[in-house]
Amino acid sequence: MAPDRIAVVSDVHGNVTAYEAVLADITDRGIDVVVNLGDVAGKGPRGSHAVALTRQRCAATVRGNWEGYLTAEDPPRNPALHWWRSELTEADKEWLGALPAVIDLELSGRGVRLLHASAVDEFTRVRHDHSDEEFAGMFASTPFTRDREVLGSGPGDVGGFSPTVVVYGDIHDAYLEVRSGRTLVNAGSVGNSLDGDTAASYVILEGRLDAADAPFGIQFVRVPYDIEAEIAVARELDMPDWEPYAIELRTGVYRGLHAQLGLTVE
């Protein structure tokens, strides 16, 4: 019997050009189940369109820090954030604001937890060069992880669920680390890769949802897309901060380092 495969995407950030390329690749591979790890909108130009694609194609979605910014009752007074909020419909914001914190499932007998940033909340960042305590904390049961959605027929209640695989997003930097039987995976970013590789990133989980002794696998996929077409959309819509956005898409380098490295939009 063929294994079950789940595509895990994260941090689309309104980059519909990249998102459509990734979703097409997922379809070409015959994968039906897609899970989104949040930050669907904001930072890129077409958040509402990205929300529509997510609602259409994803079996489940968790909330990221940008979902918090975009749906807050009293958001920061930031003109750029106001632009990204106003680009969304009220129905978009209602849906984004109701997303769960985590998604739990069992695949080949392994407890798998999917979340945006950490088990603390959607704003607490865990980088690839984390501490031992931060690594352990990603597998903890916390008040935050009680707000969960279960994918498939299991697992049981959150108190009895102990993940051995955690997949997250947030840092836009794909990697995998195994320690003492626990596997921590960052799916990278679909729409705003910042790990030096400009191609969109996502992860495929492979196993069996109905068998505890089946093989289990994790695959990273990088998908090229038309970066210049995406930048053109941002410019045409007069999106705030389109220049650092363009440099990030072209270089895979975080905007806070652009001046130091002499990177410009020209």
The predicted-structure confidence for 188-220, as pLDDT tens digits, reads as follows 999 999 999 999 999 999 999 988 889 999 999
Whether the predicted pLDDT of 156 surpasses 70: no
What pLDDT, on the 0 to 100 scale, is given for residue 3?
80
Which residues are 179's β-sheet partners? 182
- What does pTM read for this prediction? 0.96
Evaluate whether 119 touches 144 at the Cβ level (below 8 Å). yes
Cα gap 6→35, rounded to integer Å:
7
How far apart are the two ends of the chain, measured CA to CA in Å? 53
Q: For residue 60, what is the DSSP state?
A: E
**Which of the residue ranges 45-49, 159-163, 261-265 would you say has the lowest mean pLDDT?**
159-163
Evaluate whether 51 touches 41 at the Cβ level (below 8 Å). yes
Q: How far is CA 3 from CA 43, 44, 72, 174, 217, in A?
A: 36, 35, 40, 24, 10
Whether the predicted pLDDT of 266 surpasses 80: no
CATH value of 4-226 in 3.90.1300.10, 3.60.21.10, 3.40.50.620, 3.30.70.260: 3.60.21.10
HSE toward the beta carbon, residue 160, CA cutoff 13 A: 5
Q: How far is CA 41 from CA 49, 65, 129, in A?
A: 9, 10, 27
Domain ranges of the chain: 4-226
Whether the predicted pLDDT of 157 surpasses 80: no
In angstroms and rounded to an integer, the radius of gyration of the C-alpha atoms of the chain is 18
Evaluate whether 218 touches 5 at the Cβ level (below 8 Å). no
What pLDDT, on the 0 to 100 scale, is given for residue 136?
97
Q: Is cis: bond before 215, omega within 30 of 0?
A: no
pLDDT in tens, 86-143: 999 999 999 999 999 999 999 999 999 999 999 999 999 999 999 999 999 999 999 9
Q: How far is CA 234 from CA 14, 50, 213, in A?
A: 10, 14, 48
pLDDT in tens, 26-54: 999 999 999 999 999 999 999 999 999 99
**Which of the residue ranges 136-145, 158-167, 239-248 would you say has the lowest mean pLDDT?**
158-167
